[in-house]
Amino acid sequence: MNSKTSLQILRQTYTGSVFNTVIPRNTDLRDAHFNKRDIFSFYSKSTAALAYNKLIGELFQI
């Protein structure tokens, strides 16, 4: 099962309880962790950092 299928199953099972934002897996997250930094201070314009910002907005409905 791939992650797209897993997400689809989660959204069908937990309708309305799964956020819309998807955090992509990429090397920026790994590199930030390796350098003991958060993704925002490591590379704030990475797709992961932008996705986390979007998730924060979705979480707090800003």
pLDDT value, residue 62: 57
Distance from C-alpha of 13 to C-alpha of 59, rounded to nearest angstrom: 20
C-alpha span between 14 and 39 (Å, rounded): 29
**What is the pLDDT at residue 2?**
85
Give the tens place of pLDDT for each residue, 37-56.
999 999 999 999 999 999 99
Q: Please, which pLDDT band fits residue 35 given cuts at 50, 70 and 90?
A: very high
The mean pLDDT of 6-35, rounded to a whole number, is 94
**Beta-carbon neighbour count of residue 48 at 10 Å?**
20
Q: Could you tell me where the DSSP H helices lie in the chain?
A: 3-13, 27-34, 39-43, 47-60
d(CA 59, CA 34): 27
- For residue 31, is pLDDT > 80? yes
